[in-house]
Amino acid sequence: MFSDTSIVSPGRGLHARFKSLGDMSGKTLDDVISVVGPPSSSSSIPFGHTLLQWQETGCHVALLFDRNNQFVSVRHAEYEPTPAHKGNFLRLVIGLGAILVLLAAIVGLRR
């Protein structure tokens, strides 16, 4: 069985690589690919621009480049981090339930 962490692990890696690029001003397509890897898809759009997209589970980034392969803008960026406390809440509820059962047993023994 896969945990939430293992499923979105590739997306976390992709997100970290994009963050490491910092300010995108002046970056070329080659600059970006050298850090984050090749895009998942490429689409030609009007005025000689190209929309490149990178996608991994939990992360999707779409960047626009001009005809000279210079960065123009971020068209879409979505990152869904793993919920940090999802599993911990369930463990807390189970633990509290177990404590209540033990306390009820102790009170029952004293009667």
Sign of the alpha-carbon torsion through 32, 37, 77, 15? negative
Instruction: Confirm if 102 and 110 have CB atoms less than 8 A apart.
Output: no
Q: Say whether pTM exceeds 0.85.
A: no
Average pLDDT taken over every residue of the chain: 84
Give the model's pLDDT for residue 67.
97
| pLDDT top residue among 58 and 95 | 58
